[in-house]
Amino acid sequence: MIKLGLVGWPLSHSKSPQLHRAAFKAAGLDGDYDLFPIESSNSNGLVDILDGVRSGMLTGINVTIPYKQTVIGLVDELSISAQSIGAVNTIYQRHGKLIGDNTDAQGFLADLRSQVSDLSTRSNGAIVIGAGGAARAVIWALAEVVESIIVAARNLEKGQRLSSSLSTTLTRRCRLSTILMEAKSLDSIPEQVDLIINTTPVGMYPDLQSSPWPASVAFPKSCFIYDLVYNPAKTKLMEQAKKQGINSANGVGMLVEQAALAFELWTGQPAHRDVMLSAISQTAEHF
Protein backbone atom coordinates (compact mmCIF):
# COMPACT_ATOMS: atom_id res chain seq x y z
CA MET A 1 0.00 0.00 0.00
CA ILE A 2 1.26 3.50 -0.89
CA LYS A 3 1.12 5.75 2.16
CA LEU A 4 1.25 9.51 1.74
CA GLY A 5 0.41 12.46 3.94
CA LEU A 6 0.57 16.14 4.72
CA VAL A 7 2.55 17.67 7.55
CA GLY A 8 1.79 21.17 8.85
CA TRP A 9 -0.29 23.11 11.36
CA PRO A 10 -3.21 23.72 11.35
CA LEU A 11 -4.54 21.21 8.81
CA SER A 12 -8.25 21.03 9.53
CA HIS A 13 -9.22 22.77 6.24
CA SER A 14 -6.90 20.77 3.99
CA LYS A 15 -8.37 19.35 0.79
CA SER A 16 -5.30 17.19 0.11
CA PRO A 17 -6.77 13.87 1.38
CA GLN A 18 -9.78 14.20 -0.98
CA LEU A 19 -7.52 15.10 -3.90
CA HIS A 20 -5.10 12.23 -3.43
CA ARG A 21 -7.66 9.59 -2.52
CA ALA A 22 -9.50 10.45 -5.74
CA ALA A 23 -6.20 10.21 -7.63
CA PHE A 24 -5.46 6.76 -6.13
CA LYS A 25 -8.91 5.49 -7.06
CA ALA A 26 -8.73 6.82 -10.62
CA ALA A 27 -5.25 5.31 -11.12
CA GLY A 28 -6.39 1.93 -9.69
CA LEU A 29 -3.70 2.10 -6.99
CA ASP A 30 -3.95 0.90 -3.41
CA GLY A 31 -2.99 3.92 -1.35
CA ASP A 32 -4.03 6.41 1.27
CA TYR A 33 -3.25 10.00 2.26
CA ASP A 34 -3.38 11.10 5.90
CA LEU A 35 -3.05 14.39 7.73
CA PHE A 36 -0.16 14.76 10.20
CA PRO A 37 -0.89 17.94 12.16
CA ILE A 38 2.21 18.85 14.14
CA GLU A 39 2.28 21.80 16.52
CA SER A 40 5.54 23.74 16.52
CA SER A 41 6.00 22.88 20.22
CA ASN A 42 6.37 19.22 19.18
CA SER A 43 10.04 19.42 18.21
CA ASN A 44 10.43 15.73 17.30
CA GLY A 45 7.20 15.42 15.35
CA LEU A 46 8.54 16.65 12.03
CA VAL A 47 11.71 14.55 12.28
CA ASP A 48 9.66 11.44 13.08
CA ILE A 49 7.54 11.91 9.96
CA LEU A 50 10.65 12.41 7.81
CA ASP A 51 12.13 9.25 9.34
CA GLY A 52 8.95 7.50 8.18
CA VAL A 53 9.77 8.52 4.59
CA ARG A 54 13.41 7.47 5.00
CA SER A 55 12.42 4.03 6.29
CA GLY A 56 9.85 3.54 3.51
CA MET A 57 6.88 3.42 5.88
CA LEU A 58 5.68 6.50 4.02
CA THR A 59 6.20 6.84 0.26
CA GLY A 60 6.18 10.61 0.48
CA ILE A 61 4.72 13.66 2.13
CA ASN A 62 3.52 17.14 1.35
CA VAL A 63 4.66 19.97 3.57
CA THR A 64 2.72 23.11 4.32
CA ILE A 65 2.78 26.14 6.64
CA PRO A 66 4.74 26.51 8.93
CA TYR A 67 7.31 23.91 7.81
CA LYS A 68 8.02 24.70 4.15
CA GLN A 69 11.34 26.34 5.04
CA THR A 70 12.16 24.29 8.16
CA VAL A 71 12.37 21.02 6.22
CA ILE A 72 15.09 22.39 3.94
CA GLY A 73 17.64 21.60 6.64
CA LEU A 74 16.21 18.13 7.22
CA VAL A 75 16.37 16.62 3.70
CA ASP A 76 19.47 15.36 1.87
CA GLU A 77 18.95 17.10 -1.48
CA LEU A 78 16.79 19.84 -2.96
CA SER A 79 15.37 20.04 -6.46
CA ILE A 80 16.38 23.13 -8.45
CA SER A 81 12.93 24.68 -7.91
CA ALA A 82 12.93 24.05 -4.14
CA GLN A 83 16.43 25.47 -3.83
CA SER A 84 15.64 28.56 -5.92
CA ILE A 85 12.30 29.27 -4.26
CA GLY A 86 13.63 28.49 -0.80
CA ALA A 87 10.66 26.30 0.12
CA VAL A 88 9.72 22.60 -0.04
CA ASN A 89 6.17 21.32 -0.46
CA THR A 90 6.88 17.71 -1.52
CA ILE A 91 9.29 15.13 -0.10
CA TYR A 92 10.16 11.68 -1.44
CA GLN A 93 13.00 9.20 -1.29
CA ARG A 94 15.37 8.35 -4.16
CA HIS A 95 18.28 5.90 -3.82
CA GLY A 96 18.20 6.21 -0.03
CA LYS A 97 18.20 10.00 -0.07
CA LEU A 98 15.40 12.32 1.03
CA ILE A 99 14.63 14.80 -1.73
CA GLY A 100 12.82 18.08 -1.09
CA ASP A 101 10.92 19.39 -4.10
CA ASN A 102 8.50 22.21 -4.85
CA THR A 103 5.52 21.63 -7.14
CA ASP A 104 3.79 24.98 -6.40
CA ALA A 105 5.73 26.89 -9.06
CA GLN A 106 5.16 24.36 -11.84
CA GLY A 107 1.58 23.85 -10.66
CA PHE A 108 0.86 27.57 -10.86
CA LEU A 109 2.41 27.95 -14.30
CA ALA A 110 0.64 24.88 -15.71
CA ASP A 111 -2.72 26.24 -14.58
CA LEU A 112 -1.95 29.78 -15.76
CA ARG A 113 -1.09 28.35 -19.20
CA SER A 114 -4.41 26.54 -19.31
CA GLN A 115 -6.32 29.69 -18.29
CA VAL A 116 -4.52 32.15 -20.59
CA SER A 117 -4.26 30.56 -24.01
CA ASP A 118 -2.16 33.37 -25.52
CA LEU A 119 0.21 33.59 -22.56
CA SER A 120 3.39 33.28 -24.61
CA THR A 121 2.47 36.15 -26.93
CA ARG A 122 0.64 38.52 -24.61
CA SER A 123 2.70 38.50 -21.43
CA ASN A 124 4.86 41.59 -21.19
CA GLY A 125 4.65 42.28 -17.54
CA ALA A 126 3.01 41.08 -14.35
CA ILE A 127 2.15 42.38 -10.91
CA VAL A 128 2.44 39.91 -8.06
CA ILE A 129 0.58 41.05 -4.94
CA GLY A 130 2.19 39.77 -1.74
CA ALA A 131 5.69 38.81 -0.69
CA GLY A 132 5.25 35.54 1.21
CA GLY A 133 5.98 31.91 0.41
CA ALA A 134 3.47 31.52 -2.43
CA ALA A 135 4.74 34.76 -4.01
CA ARG A 136 8.25 33.27 -4.20
CA ALA A 137 6.99 30.21 -6.11
CA VAL A 138 4.77 32.32 -8.38
CA ILE A 139 7.51 34.83 -9.24
CA TRP A 140 10.05 32.10 -9.93
CA ALA A 141 7.60 30.40 -12.31
CA LEU A 142 6.33 33.62 -13.93
CA ALA A 143 9.85 34.72 -14.76
CA GLU A 144 9.86 31.96 -17.38
CA VAL A 145 7.11 33.67 -19.37
CA VAL A 146 7.12 37.42 -18.70
CA GLU A 147 9.65 40.17 -19.30
CA SER A 148 9.13 42.04 -16.04
CA ILE A 149 7.47 41.50 -12.66
CA ILE A 150 6.41 44.17 -10.18
CA VAL A 151 6.09 42.86 -6.63
CA ALA A 152 3.41 44.84 -4.77
CA ALA A 153 3.92 44.33 -1.04
CA ARG A 154 2.42 45.95 2.02
CA ASN A 155 5.90 45.76 3.54
CA LEU A 156 8.18 47.38 0.96
CA GLU A 157 11.40 46.18 2.57
CA LYS A 158 10.18 42.58 2.64
CA GLY A 159 9.20 42.86 -1.03
CA GLN A 160 12.61 44.26 -1.92
CA ARG A 161 14.38 41.46 -0.03
CA LEU A 162 12.28 38.88 -1.86
CA SER A 163 12.98 40.47 -5.27
CA SER A 164 16.70 40.68 -4.75
CA SER A 165 17.07 37.15 -3.38
CA LEU A 166 14.98 35.64 -6.18
CA SER A 167 16.62 37.64 -8.97
CA THR A 168 19.83 35.62 -8.57
CA THR A 169 18.00 32.30 -9.05
CA LEU A 170 15.85 32.98 -12.12
CA THR A 171 16.44 30.67 -15.07
CA ARG A 172 15.74 33.44 -17.57
CA ARG A 173 16.25 37.21 -17.75
CA CYS A 174 13.30 39.01 -16.15
CA ARG A 175 13.24 42.44 -14.50
CA LEU A 176 12.03 42.43 -10.89
CA SER A 177 10.98 45.60 -9.10
CA THR A 178 9.01 46.33 -5.94
CA ILE A 179 6.29 48.83 -5.05
CA LEU A 180 4.23 49.49 -1.98
CA MET A 181 0.77 47.91 -2.27
CA GLU A 182 -1.29 51.12 -2.16
CA ALA A 183 -3.52 53.07 -4.54
CA LYS A 184 -0.90 55.78 -5.17
CA SER A 185 1.73 53.32 -6.47
CA LEU A 186 -0.77 51.21 -8.43
CA ASP A 187 -2.17 54.28 -10.19
CA SER A 188 1.08 54.69 -12.08
CA ILE A 189 1.64 51.09 -13.19
CA PRO A 190 2.22 50.72 -16.93
CA GLU A 191 -0.72 49.76 -19.21
CA GLN A 192 1.34 46.92 -20.69
CA VAL A 193 1.04 44.98 -17.43
CA ASP A 194 -1.22 42.14 -18.52
CA LEU A 195 -1.18 39.72 -15.59
CA ILE A 196 -2.11 40.42 -11.98
CA ILE A 197 -1.59 37.62 -9.47
CA ASN A 198 -2.86 37.73 -5.91
CA THR A 199 -0.68 35.66 -3.58
CA THR A 200 -2.05 37.11 -0.32
CA PRO A 201 -4.83 35.45 1.70
CA VAL A 202 -6.94 38.62 1.38
CA GLY A 203 -10.47 37.64 0.30
CA MET A 204 -10.18 34.08 1.60
CA TYR A 205 -13.12 32.71 3.61
CA PRO A 206 -14.38 34.15 5.96
CA ASP A 207 -12.91 37.48 4.77
CA LEU A 208 -15.30 37.52 1.79
CA GLN A 209 -15.69 41.29 1.36
CA SER A 210 -11.98 42.12 1.20
CA SER A 211 -9.84 42.53 -1.90
CA PRO A 212 -6.13 43.24 -2.11
CA TRP A 213 -6.81 45.65 -5.01
CA PRO A 214 -8.03 49.19 -4.09
CA ALA A 215 -11.51 49.91 -5.49
CA SER A 216 -10.34 53.36 -6.67
CA VAL A 217 -7.74 51.96 -9.09
CA ALA A 218 -8.72 50.66 -12.56
CA PHE A 219 -7.09 47.46 -13.80
CA PRO A 220 -4.91 47.70 -16.91
CA LYS A 221 -7.32 47.19 -19.86
CA SER A 222 -6.06 43.90 -21.29
CA CYS A 223 -4.96 42.17 -18.12
CA PHE A 224 -5.85 38.73 -16.75
CA ILE A 225 -6.24 38.27 -13.01
CA TYR A 226 -5.25 35.09 -11.19
CA ASP A 227 -6.22 34.79 -7.54
CA LEU A 228 -4.43 32.03 -5.62
CA VAL A 229 -7.34 32.07 -3.19
CA TYR A 230 -9.90 29.37 -4.14
CA ASN A 231 -12.30 29.55 -1.22
CA PRO A 232 -14.69 31.20 -2.11
CA ALA A 233 -14.66 30.20 -5.78
CA LYS A 234 -15.49 33.79 -6.77
CA THR A 235 -13.42 36.18 -4.68
CA LYS A 236 -14.03 39.89 -4.23
CA LEU A 237 -11.00 40.54 -6.46
CA MET A 238 -12.59 38.41 -9.21
CA GLU A 239 -15.86 40.34 -8.80
CA GLN A 240 -13.99 43.63 -9.22
CA ALA A 241 -12.39 42.22 -12.38
CA LYS A 242 -15.73 41.14 -13.81
CA LYS A 243 -17.20 44.61 -13.31
CA GLN A 244 -14.39 46.03 -15.43
CA GLY A 245 -14.74 43.35 -18.13
CA ILE A 246 -11.50 41.61 -17.08
CA ASN A 247 -11.13 37.81 -17.13
CA SER A 248 -9.97 36.03 -14.01
CA ALA A 249 -9.44 32.64 -12.39
CA ASN A 250 -9.18 31.36 -8.84
CA GLY A 251 -6.43 29.11 -7.49
CA VAL A 252 -8.24 25.78 -7.55
CA GLY A 253 -6.46 24.73 -10.75
CA MET A 254 -3.10 25.40 -9.13
CA LEU A 255 -4.17 23.42 -6.06
CA VAL A 256 -5.04 20.41 -8.24
CA GLU A 257 -1.98 20.78 -10.45
CA GLN A 258 0.57 20.99 -7.60
CA ALA A 259 -1.06 17.92 -6.03
CA ALA A 260 -1.08 16.04 -9.34
CA LEU A 261 2.61 16.75 -9.90
CA ALA A 262 3.44 15.50 -6.39
CA PHE A 263 1.31 12.37 -6.94
CA GLU A 264 3.23 11.64 -10.12
CA LEU A 265 6.59 12.05 -8.34
CA TRP A 266 5.53 9.63 -5.60
CA THR A 267 3.77 6.97 -7.67
CA GLY A 268 5.30 7.25 -11.14
CA GLN A 269 1.72 7.08 -12.48
CA PRO A 270 -0.17 9.83 -14.33
CA ALA A 271 -2.60 11.72 -12.10
CA HIS A 272 -6.18 12.13 -13.32
CA ARG A 273 -6.55 15.87 -12.83
CA ASP A 274 -10.21 15.98 -13.91
CA VAL A 275 -11.15 13.39 -11.27
CA MET A 276 -9.14 15.26 -8.62
CA LEU A 277 -10.85 18.53 -9.52
CA SER A 278 -14.33 17.06 -9.34
CA ALA A 279 -13.50 15.41 -5.99
CA ILE A 280 -12.94 18.81 -4.39
CA SER A 281 -15.58 20.65 -6.41
CA GLN A 282 -18.19 18.36 -4.87
CA THR A 283 -17.31 19.78 -1.47
CA ALA A 284 -19.49 22.71 -0.48
CA GLU A 285 -18.06 26.21 -0.89
CA HIS A 286 -16.55 27.74 2.25
CA PHE A 287 -15.15 24.38 3.32
The separation between the first and the last C-alpha atoms of the chain, rounded to the nearest angstrom, is 29
Q: Which residues bind ligand NAP (CB under 6 A)?
A: 65, 104, 130-135, 153-155, 158, 181, 199-202, 204, 212, 228-230, 251, 254-255, 258
Q: Which of 68, 158, 184, 243 is catalytic?
A: 68
Of 57 and 233, the one with the shorter C-beta distance to ligand NAP is 233
* Least spacing, CB of residue 51 vs ligand NAP, in Å: 26
* Least spacing, CB of residue 183 vs ligand NAP, in Å: 13
Of 93 and 273, the one with the shorter C-beta distance to ligand NAP is 273
Of 38 and 153, the one with the shorter C-beta distance to ligand NAP is 153
* Least spacing, CB of residue 154 vs ligand NAP, in Å: 4
* Least spacing, CB of residue 202 vs ligand NAP, in Å: 5
- Answer yes or no: 158 catalytic: no
Of 4 and 139, the one with the shorter C-beta distance to ligand NAP is 139
| Residues annotated catalytic, as ranges | 68
